[in-house]
Amino acid sequence: MERDDFERLLVEHTDAWNSHDIDRLMRLFADDCEFDASGGPEACGRRFEGRDDVRAAFADVFDSMPDAHWGDGRHAVITDDYGVSEWRLTGTLRDGGRIDVFGCDFLTVRDGLIVRKNSFRKQRPPRTG
């Protein structure tokens, strides 16, 4: 993948998250994609494998924070198939708690589609009030 195309993919990935359009977001992912969530019981957080599982995990994120926004994006292409996006996630949880944390995604691509999203974010408890 050309460097400029890869950088556009990284930006589009963040824009798709901010659109809360699951179809738009999933168009960026390969059928055999994987998502390593930042939290969970495994060393990798929690791994979701395949389009259906990844889609469900992403839908859960949108459902848990209907106003989620990934701002202050910075994107870097590291190699032909590996890049990183940094962001600041803000949003309100269903119970009213507010999230405001920095994080990043390490993204692996193949044939112009994301095959692995490895997500990290700071561990900060939601704020109330």
Q: Which of 67, 74, 108 is nearest to 88 (CA)?
A: 74
Any domain includes 127: no
pTM exceeds cut of 0.85: yes
Task: Find the domain containing 38 and state its range.
Answer: 3-121
Query: In this structure, what CATH number is given to the domain that contains residue 86?
Result: 3.10.450.50
The number of folded domains in the chain is: 1
The pLDDT profile of the chain, 129 residues, written as one tens digit per residue, is 899 999 999 999 999 999 999 999 999 999 999 999 999 999 999 999 999 999 999 999 999 999 999 999 999 999 999 999 999 999 999 999 999 999 999 999 999 999 999 999 998 888 886
Any domain includes 87: yes
